[in-house]
Structure 1
Amino acid sequence: FWHKGCLKCTVCGMTLNIKNVKGYEKMPYCHAHYPHMKPTVICDNPEMQRIRLLTDIQSNAKYHEDFNKSKGKFTVVTDDPVLARAKEQQRNVSQIDYTGKRKDSSSQLLSH
């Protein structure tokens, strides 16, 4: 018996469920990695596993290198109508809190 979150393919680690699990020698496999006595579309020998691991490591290293280069920099976002409206509302709320009065569209102070 397996916990729901622990049922993973022995080869690739894909999470499995009762509909897609295949057992072989009491171990769970996905359909693609289920041991067959005939050639399959997946070439997964120790050399290919090593190459996949090295590729993942290199990809992760490149991601972290790019992240560290861009850390501390920012991308300027231009004002869009939604952001402009939100800024205006915040200014109005701030003005009301400060003076107890609000401005209408003609810039006249109104008391409420």
Structure 2
Amino acid sequence: MQSCARCGFVVYPAEKINCIDQNWHKACFHCDVCKMVLTPNNFVSHKKRPYCSVHNPRNNTFTSVYETPININAKKQSKASSEVRGHPEQNHSSSMHAIQHVSVL
């Protein structure tokens, strides 16, 4: 019996995929990054490991958790709200500075 390249357990013919010169369970043949289950028609091989086309290391376009649209939007909102919070303090200090100038004159 042949063993799975990912989990090491026996691969029976009904559940076997032979790709990248190795045997895999159908469920074990998934992208190393996002875990999307792959088929012999939609995988990319890099250093004998399977990847989906999005996480192909040759493209150097790994999608990190930090770069998801939700997190990018949250970062923008956080930055915008901190700038809004910063303006009243700046306006307050500039008005205090103006008052000091007026009182000196």
Q: TM-score range by the shorter chain?
A: 0.3 to 0.5
More RCO (CA 8 Å, sep 6+)? 2
Return the structure number with greater strand share: 2
Give the TM-score of the pair, scaled to structure 1. 0.35
Give the TM-score of the pair, scaled to structure 2. 0.37
